[in-house]
Structure 1
Amino acid sequence: MRIELADEAQEFGREIVRALRAAGGDELVQRAEQEPAGRQRLIEPVLAGLGAWELAPRRDPVELEAAAALCRGAGYWAAPYPVAERLARSDDADYDGLIVVSGPEPSGAVAGVDLHWATVAPDGARGSATPLASEASTRESAFVTRLDIDPRDGDGGADLALALTLPCWTLLGMLDRALELARSHVQVREQFGRPLAEFQGVQFQLTDAEVERRGVDLLARYALWSIQTNRPEAVADALALRLAALEAADIVFRIAHQVHGAVGFCDETTLSWLSRYSLPLRRFPFGIARTEELLTDRIGRRGLAGLFSDPAGV
């Protein structure tokens, strides 16, 4: 088993971070919120220039790892574009991206993006999606809009693992940045004449957050390996990753906001934007409770297969 990303994939991820920094960095999401109709031209040309849409994550293991690294880099800057959904696209040339949908009001963060979307439900049902107009402001919706689903023939179960896994890499990039911002803040902010970083309580909190982030990092790489090797448990591994990522996001963002104090909720701080635009990833297509339910239904009493599973099934 190899769960380390290939050197080429890691370098591609670093290049994505550099390119998005040069294109505007933290200002990208702010500019997109001010002019929602222009968000596609903010991000798409930058990624196209690096060959992002030429990746074939379904056919090449290294390109799958590069796609994951791309999603992580986009998450680091809270890039206002459905990167993971585009990279999860099927081989059907009629569609530009793939969205996992669930529930009576399927939604996705694809408002203002003029592309053709395919959908897949947790039971493998396929469809095509037309984003509906929304009266909510971008600040309230974070680009989330209702989707009108037209059912299609076929079983999309094989698409599900990839479509669930790649958005978790985007969320992982957001966790990377949230912890980086929290560490930087406590190093420069003082209380009682000492940097916050010197207080033991703060150190404990940041350690807890880092443990959660590193756990998601390992599970994300394991889920990629599961997809690469066509394991029958790939969807269960993707659901386990999503569950861990959602739980970690709750902890990491809570701690980051706590160490920032009230200023962490003001738009003058990057954390506020990062936290707000992480919500679509954390709420759609389903939250913690529904993820737990789907995972439990899929694995039953067998438990997850993995490094520490019981080969005798005891």
Structure 2
Amino acid sequence: MILDLSDDALEYGLQALHAFENAGGDRLVEQAEADPTARHGLVRPVLDGLGAWDLDPRTDADGLEAAAALCRSAGYWALPYPLAERLAKPADLDVDGLVVVGGPRPAAALGGLDLRWAAVDLDGRRALVTGQGVTGPGFVAELELSPVDSDGSRDVALALVLPCWTLLGILDRAVALTVAHVSLRKQFGQTLSSFQGVQFQLTDAEVERSGVDVLAKHALWSIATDQSHVVDDALALRLAAIEAADVVFRVCHQLHGAVGFCDETTLSWLSRYSLPLRRLPFGLSSTRDHLTRVAGRRGLTGLFI
């Protein structure tokens, strides 16, 4: 089992990171929030330039790693676009992307986008998105679905795992911003980073973030090698990512203080736009319940034991 991404995938992710920065960086999400219908026009040129739609994460292991690295870079800048969902699109439906849905009121962060979408639940039941409700915070809109008579069980794992890579990128940035913040701010004549209590909190956040890093790579390997427990691994990754996000943002907001909740601070935007990834298609408790149902008495394997 080799968990590290290939050098090509890492380089691709780095180039994507720079491309998003050059395209506007943090300004992209601010502009998209002002006009959600402009999301596609803001992001499409840079994704086209990166060759994002040439990636084949379903049948090509290298393409899968590159897609994961791209989603992580998108998360680092809180890219206002459902990139992971577009990369997870099924090959046998004439759609532009795929979302996982759950619960009686399915929703996804698709507001403002004039694209064709499919949806799938954890049992592999697929549907086409035929309408959307009013776009709310985080571009979230309720979805109107029309069932499709086809099996989408092979869609579930990829559509769960790639958004977790986006969330991982958000956590990367949140920790990096907080480290920079406490290294500059002073109290009692010392930088905040010199206080042992601050160091302990940052360590907690970094342990959680780095744990998701490893588990995300394991889930990617599980998809690439078509493991029988691939959905278990995807749900376990989602559970770990949500739990880690709770810890990371608690620590980061505490160490930033009140300024961390102001729009002038990048952490505020990251925190806000991480919420759809953490709450949809289901939140912490529901993810745990689904994992318990799927894994059952069999339990988990590999790194999740």
Conserved 8 A contact 2:236-2:304:
no
Which residue number in structure 1 is paired with residue 195 of structure 2?
A: 199
Which residue number in structure 2 is paired with residue 248 of structure 1?
A: 244
What SS does the aligned partner of 2:74 have? helix
Taking the aligned partners of 1:60 and 1:156, their CA distance within structure 2 comes to 19
Distance 1:135 1:16, change over 3 A: closer
Distance 1:194 1:307, change over 3 A: closer
Conserved 8 A contact 1:3-1:221:
yes
Which residue number in structure 1 is paired with residue 15 of structure 2?
A: 15
Taking the aligned partners of 2:259 and 2:131, their CA distance within structure 1 comes to 35
Note if 1:165 corresponds to 2:161. yes
Taking the aligned partners of 2:189 and 2:31, their CA distance within structure 1 comes to 38
Which residue number in structure 1 is paired with residue 233 of structure 2?
A: 237
Which residue number in structure 1 is paired with residue 76 of structure 2?
A: 76
Which residue number in structure 2 is paired with residue 151 of structure 1?
A: 147
1:92 Cα deviation from its structure 2 partner: 2.6
Note if 1:42 corresponds to 2:38. no
1:48 Cα deviation from its structure 2 partner: 1.0
Q: Deviations over 1:153-194 (max 9, x none)?
A: 111111000000000000000000000010000000111111
1:307 Cα deviation from its structure 2 partner: 5.0
Matches within 5 A, 1:83-232: 83-92=83-92, 94-134=94-134, 136=136, 141-232=137-228
Conserved 8 A contact 1:161-1:227:
yes
Q: Deviations over 1:48-71 (max 9, x none)?
A: 111001100001001000000000
Structure 2 length normalisation: TM-score?
Answer: 0.98
Unaligned runs of 5+ residues in structure 2 are none
Which residue number in structure 2 is paired with residue 312 of structure 1?
A: none
Runs of 4+ in 1 over 2 A off after TM superposition: none
What SS does the aligned partner of 1:115 have? coil
Conserved 8 A contact 1:111-1:131:
no
* Percentage of pairs with the same residue: 62
Letter paired with 1:66: A
Taking the aligned partners of 2:89 and 2:228, their CA distance within structure 1 comes to 20
Q: Deviations over 1:236-287 (max 9, x none)?
A: 0000000000000000011000000000000010000010000000000000
What SS does the aligned partner of 2:302 have? coil
Letter paired with 1:40: H
Conserved 8 A contact 1:178-1:256:
yes
What SS does the aligned partner of 1:91 have? coil
Letter paired with 1:88: A
Note if 1:289 corresponds to 2:303. no
Letter paired with 1:3: L
1:40 Cα deviation from its structure 2 partner: 0.7
Matches within 5 A, 1:301-312: 301-306=297-302
Unaligned runs of 5+ residues in structure 1 are 310-314
Distance 1:267 1:119, change over 3 A: same
What SS does the aligned partner of 1:235 have? helix
